Structure 1
């Protein structure tokens, strides 16, 4: 499970940029955490620039705010690596610079999440969890992972 919400203000992202960023975020999450790609989802939401304030002042330049919710159980080093690689990917796709990108990682206990109709497993127990899923879901997830 990982849900990455990408909020952006005072800029437009094309469908191709969103696709490219979603692919990069998914790959980074899978590579850094070791989780299967089908555990990552990416949601984009454009914000009205008049709804964004930093320090109580209306936003005065483009920004992207990334909030990643991941399963609890990853090391501090893994979470730092995740943040750094995600920021680099966002810079590459959006052409924004570091101070225009704010990123956060929140952890949620696996027992407090349901995906694909099942409570999620502890980190490292993905294959056992996968084996308990209905065959149709396994087929879909295998496709998403390919």
Structure 2
């Protein structure tokens, strides 16, 4: 449901840091919105030095850009809490200054998003939506939820 696209420069983030960031972003989104962690996705894109410019000049070599696509729901400071949490996660995990962090959230109506062949539900109605998925998909998601609840030494934490 929430999809976070992370843009970093080549060689800036290794596999372990990507896993840590993906888990951290999913946790932040869950804590702020209540959406199930198992439905959160994080996609990493690698930028070469000539791929991104700001004001006509090459972007900061250690910059990180996060674009989150989330379901809209008017709730006070929700987005501010998500962006601040992600910024803090990035600065701690990657040891970069906050001036090298950009976080953008795009709110979409639940009907503007389709996953697993179904339009997304309104926030809070995830269980009914999950119940209508194909059994194979439900089983895959249930396995993610079990891993989230009881992580192994090799699994998510």
For 1:86 and 1:120, locate their aligned partners in 2 and report how far apart those are by CA, in whole Å. Answer: 24
* Structure 2 residue ranges without an equivalent (≥5): 147-157
Question: What does residue 15 of structure 1 align with?
Answer: 15
Question: What does residue 25 of structure 2 align with?
Answer: 25
Which secondary structure does the structure 2 equivalent of 1:23 belong to?
helix
After superposition, what is the alpha-carbon deviation per residue over 1:46-94, rounded to whole angstroms, capped at 9, x for unaligned?
1112222112222243100000000111424111101111111111111
Question: What does residue 65 of structure 2 align with?
Answer: 65
Count residues with an aligned counterpart. Answer: 146
Do 1:112 and 1:119's aligned partners in 2 also have CA atoms closer than 8 Å? yes
Question: What does residue 39 of structure 1 align with?
Answer: 39
Which secondary structure does the structure 1 equivalent of 2:122 belong to?
coil
How far 1:120 moved relative to its partner? 0.6
* Structure 1 residue ranges without an equivalent (≥5): none
For 1:126 and 1:74, locate their aligned partners in 2 and report how far apart those are by CA, in whole Å. Answer: 17
Do 2:60 and 2:100's aligned partners in 1 also have CA atoms closer than 8 Å? no
Question: What does residue 122 of structure 1 align with?
Answer: 122
Do 1:11 and 1:62's aligned partners in 2 also have CA atoms closer than 8 Å? no
Question: What does residue 103 of structure 2 align with?
Answer: 103
For 1:116 and 1:74, locate their aligned partners in 2 and report how far apart those are by CA, in whole Å. Answer: 25
CA RMSD between the two structures: 1.5
Structure 2 CA distance for partners of 1:114 and 1:25, relative to 1, 3 Å: same
Do 2:12 and 2:62's aligned partners in 1 also have CA atoms closer than 8 Å? no
For 2:81 and 2:11, locate their aligned partners in 1 and report how far apart those are by CA, in whole Å. Answer: 26
For 1:13 and 1:87, locate their aligned partners in 2 and report how far apart those are by CA, in whole Å. Answer: 15
For 1:8 and 1:74, locate their aligned partners in 2 and report how far apart those are by CA, in whole Å. Answer: 30
For 1:125 and 1:6, locate their aligned partners in 2 and report how far apart those are by CA, in whole Å. Answer: 27
Q: Is the counterpart of residue 6 in structure 1 residue 6 in structure 2?
A: yes
TM superposition score normalised by structure 2:
0.86
How far 1:39 moved relative to its partner? 2.0
